[in-house]
Structure 1
Amino acid sequence: MISKIREQFNAGFKEEYYENLKKEVEETYGEGTAFRLSETPIFIDKKVKSEIFDTCESIIDQLWRLDFEKIREQFVPKQIQSPSKIEKPHFLAIDFGLCEDGNGGIRPQLIELQAFPTLFFYQPFLGKAFMNNYPTMPKEGLHYFFSGLDENQYINEVRDVILANEQPEHVVLMELYPEKQKTRIDFWATQKALGIEVVCMTKIKKEGKNLFYDKNGVKTQIKRIYNRVIFDEIERTKDLETEFNLNDDVDVDWVTHPDWFFMISKCVMPKLKHANIPNSFYLNDFPKDFDLESYVLKPLFSFAGLGIDLHPTKEKIAGISDKENYILQEKVTYASAIKTKSEKNSKGEIRILYIWDKKNDRLKPVINLGRMSKGELINVSHNTEETWIGSSIGFFEQ
């Protein structure tokens, strides 16, 4: 989207740079990414950057006008509500599609949002790795950090959110079968940066209200959980045996509280309004006379594109019994605006990552994540046979 930089990047691209990039990932973390890594960053100009952050600020302002207790009662089933103190959400991810504006330009459009952590430690590594391995990358005027942060400040601020004042041995990154997760590269990056252990939920022991894990043969109490377990994966996993559940009354601090996964998610999108937010409706409460062909059907609580129907019909909708768990979202047209070295250009999404800033009592943008595709879905698990697609990062014009 910054034409001059894109042209320079593509003209200077060599396959060996990409191979060296992947090699650095493997040498740093002991394996490559389980998802496809794109050959290129996404270059974002000042205009699109301004639109993205204007929309983000509007979303955050609107979020704090919502009644989250009411949302909790409506969307979080009583049987899985956690009795732990909710506090503020530690994280927020806001996803934008880079879409056609009708005049040959780019218009960011909200795709979804989630108060749940993502690749907070892999992304700064990736941005730096692009700089390390691509000699044609611009050295000034672009960055992937926000809020005036540099690498050290970023790591320190995210560390403070996750660890607070706790010793690393009493903090764990908890996931379900972490070694099998596609995002596991970030687990190893987090472990490397913070010195905390990555622990499978099935390995955690419960004694009364206290939780423990085995650290090098020593029973060690868990006082803070950096939670990466997704509710719908628990429900999908057959014969899962754990000594505690996310909704148990346990003596730990959650980073972030499990109920935020539900409360700030696709479930609030019909409540948000902005020029860059597509219209959306709850499936059990939508106008009967509108054009279904212009909408996408999405389950409220799923990850990685699971359950999305790009072509909903009245017949399909009639067959859904739990309509309260779906939304219809107005379709957007992704722009094939990322010029590549292959036959087809790529489409892109940018995810803006936020952490809770205690000093200012507000969510704060800190870094981003990019995704590229040449298919209908922008997802790093799809179209894996193509090139110049997959996981990436945005370099924003300063």
Structure 2
Amino acid sequence: MIKPLRQAYNEAFSQEQYQAFLNKIDQDYPDQLDFRVAETPVFISKVLTDKLLSACNDIVSVITRDDFKAQAERAIPSEQWVPNERDDEHAQFIAIDFAICREESDDSSPGELTPQLIELQGFPSLYGFQPYLATQFRQFFPIPDTLSHLFNVADNTEYIETLRQMIIGDCNPEEVILLEIYPERQKTRVDFALTEAYIGVSPVCITRIRKDGRQIFYEKDGRQIPIKRIYNRLIFDDLQNFPDLQTDFHLTDDVDVEWIGHPNWFFRISKYTLPLLKSPYVPASYYLSDLKEYPVDLDNYVLKPLFSFAGSGVKLHITAADLDAIPVDQRNGYLIQRKVRYEPVVQAPDGLIKCEIRMLFIWPEHDPKPTLVTNLCRLSRGEMIGVRFNKDFDWVGGTVCFFEQ
């Protein structure tokens, strides 16, 4: 999106260099990368950077309102409510996803690029992988020093230390775990490996946790290690994929542990939040259960289940009959959101690619509001962003943005 930088990058690009870049990741973390990394980062102009920051500020102003937690409380399914949450606790990780679109213009000239909110989540993303990925791009390809993948921290060293302080605090790193279900099988396991390398927190499967009263433990090197803090990467959706799973510890157990990223915030800050937001950067959204009548231009809306992820259950083309078919007692689990039109903006050798940018925030315990620290980007040629919609394409997949600041 910064034309001279894009031209210079594409001219310097070779398939051999890209393969060397991938080989280096595999050399550093063998067999851990299980998703496609795109051939290029994205270069974001100062104008678009400022719009993204303004959009984030509009959203953060709602999330930090005194009444937000109470207003979002009914987002948590009763059977998935997790205890042991302080009254003053807030989300410690927030990810905000924007489609890059083009504004409508009153004349024949193209409008400016603009972000439009797609989703948000009060849950960790690839906080370990993204700074590492940015470093690898800089090592193998021409990335100007005037651009950065970071915000509000000087460099990766300060970023990692900030992350370490929030996740580990004053605990022994052995007493802090990254919680997942079968972490060795997860597509994001390279992020778990980097998190362990950076801050010493190991991924632990929920099946390995043992409970004694309100205390929980995991085994390491033949020792029973008490768990004081959980960096939570496990969501209920994933557990439902294993209906016969037998565990001694369940997420909903009342145990003496501190959550770094309490599971209840996965629900509070989610698609559920979309109808509460009002901003030029937020498409109109409505809870299906609140609609007395449907918008007359229903073909311009998309149907989304409130509590699914990775595009699961999203219906792009809907009719009144589709909505009428949803039982009344299930309508509170859906919303409709006005469609956005992704503008293909990233120049590949054979055409333009769509772009979605995830702005990544952390919110340490005593801070008055979340702080933007880094980003994630996904490139797509398909109808939707995501692996399943981009099979057999190149210049698509996960990547990172470098911003003019």
TM-score band, normalised by shorter chain = over 0.9
What secondary structure, in the 3-state scheme, does the structure 2 residue paired with 1:50 have?
Answer: helix
Indicate how the Cα distance of structure 1 residues 161 and 273 shifts in structure 2: closer, same or farther if over 3 A, else same.
Answer: same
Q: Do 1:149 and 1:366's aligned partners in 2 also have CA atoms closer than 8 Å?
A: no
Q: How large is the RMSD of aligned CA atoms in angstroms?
A: 1.4
What secondary structure, in the 3-state scheme, does the structure 2 residue paired with 1:250 have?
Answer: coil
Displacement of 1:104 in angstroms is: 4.2
Displacement of 1:137 in angstroms is: 2.5
Residue 393 of structure 1: which of 391, 396, 400 is its match?
400
Displacement of 1:257 in angstroms is: 0.8
**Correspondences of 1:159-174 after superposition (within 5 Å):** 159-174=164-179
**Correspondences of 1:265-276 after superposition (within 5 Å):** 265-276=270-281
2:110 is the counterpart of 1:110: no
2:222 is the counterpart of 1:185: no
2:210 is the counterpart of 1:211: no
Which one-letter code corresponds to 1:354 in the other structure?
A: F
Q: Which moved more, 1:310-319 or 1:366-375?
A: 310-319
Distance 2:324 2:21 in 1: 48
Distance 1:237 1:68 in 2: 33
Q: Do 1:371 and 1:380's aligned partners in 2 also have CA atoms closer than 8 Å?
A: no
Indicate how the Cα distance of structure 1 residues 245 and 32 shifts in structure 2: closer, same or farther if over 3 A, else same.
Answer: closer
Distance 1:370 1:381 in 2: 16
What secondary structure, in the 3-state scheme, does the structure 2 residue paired with 1:346 have?
Answer: strand
Residue 95 of structure 1: which of 88, 97, 107 is its match?
97
Indicate how the Cα distance of structure 1 residues 69 and 7 shifts in structure 2: closer, same or farther if over 3 A, else same.
Answer: closer
Distance 1:330 1:21 in 2: 39
Displacement of 1:166 in angstroms is: 0.6
Which one-letter code corresponds to 1:361 in the other structure?
A: P
Partner of 1:302: 308
Displacement of 1:37 in angstroms is: 0.7
Which one-letter code corresponds to 1:222 in the other structure?
A: I
Residue 280 of structure 1: which of 285, 288, 296 is its match?
285
Structure 2 unaligned runs (5+)? 105-109
**Correspondences of 1:117-128 after superposition (within 5 Å):** 117-128=124-135
Which one-letter code corresponds to 1:290 in the other structure?
A: V
Task: Point out 4+ residue stretches in structure 1 off by more than 4 angstroms.
Answer: none
What secondary structure, in the 3-state scheme, does the structure 2 residue paired with 1:362 have?
Answer: coil
Distance 1:240 1:115 in 2: 26
Q: Do 1:174 and 1:200's aligned partners in 2 also have CA atoms closer than 8 Å?
A: yes
Partner of 1:247: 252
Distance 2:231 2:175 in 1: 11
Displacement of 1:219 in angstroms is: 0.8
Which one-letter code corresponds to 1:75 in the other structure?
A: A
What secondary structure, in the 3-state scheme, does the structure 2 residue paired with 1:242 have?
Answer: coil
Q: Do 1:36 and 1:381's aligned partners in 2 also have CA atoms closer than 8 Å?
A: no
Distance 1:104 1:77 in 2: 42
Q: Do 1:35 and 1:381's aligned partners in 2 also have CA atoms closer than 8 Å?
A: no
2:391 is the counterpart of 1:369: no
Displacement of 1:32 in angstroms is: 4.8
Which one-letter code corresponds to 2:80 in the other structure?
A: I
Distance 2:283 2:40 in 1: 28
Displacement of 1:71 in angstroms is: 3.5
Distance 2:195 2:322 in 1: 42
Displacement of 1:289 in angstroms is: 4.0
Indicate how the Cα distance of structure 1 residues 73 and 88 shifts in structure 2: closer, same or farther if over 3 A, else same.
Answer: closer
Distance 2:32 2:177 in 1: 23
Distance 1:188 1:339 in 2: 32
Structure 1 unaligned runs (5+)? none
Q: Which moved more, 1:67-76 or 1:204-213?
A: 67-76
Q: Do 2:99 and 2:118's aligned partners in 1 also have CA atoms closer than 8 Å?
A: yes
Q: Which moved more, 1:39-48 or 1:73-82?
A: 73-82
Q: Do 2:64 and 2:369's aligned partners in 1 also have CA atoms closer than 8 Å?
A: no
Q: Do 2:379 and 2:395's aligned partners in 1 also have CA atoms closer than 8 Å?
A: yes
Query: What does the per-residue CA deviation read over 1:80-114, in whole Å, with 9 as the maximum and x for residues that have no partner?
Result: 21221241211100001011223243111011100
Distance 1:91 1:217 in 2: 33
Displacement of 1:67 in angstroms is: 2.7
Query: What does the per-residue CA deviation read over 1:185-233, in whole Å, with 9 as the maximum and x for residues that have no partner?
Result: 1011111111121111111111111111011111111110001001111
Q: Do 1:176 and 1:201's aligned partners in 2 also have CA atoms closer than 8 Å?
A: yes
Distance 2:295 2:170 in 1: 55
Partner of 1:327: 335
TM-score by length of 1: 0.96
Displacement of 1:288 in angstroms is: 2.4
Q: Do 1:283 and 1:327's aligned partners in 2 also have CA atoms closer than 8 Å?
A: yes
Displacement of 1:270 in angstroms is: 0.3
2:341 is the counterpart of 1:340: no
Distance 2:367 2:66 in 1: 19
Distance 1:191 1:148 in 2: 21
What secondary structure, in the 3-state scheme, does the structure 1 residue paired with 2:315 have?
Answer: coil
What secondary structure, in the 3-state scheme, does the structure 2 residue paired with 1:214 have?
Answer: strand
TM-score by length of 2: 0.94
Q: Do 1:25 and 1:31's aligned partners in 2 also have CA atoms closer than 8 Å?
A: no
Partner of 1:74: 74
Indicate how the Cα distance of structure 1 residues 388 and 95 shifts in structure 2: closer, same or farther if over 3 A, else same.
Answer: same
Q: Do 2:356 and 2:377's aligned partners in 1 also have CA atoms closer than 8 Å?
A: yes
2:266 is the counterpart of 1:261: yes
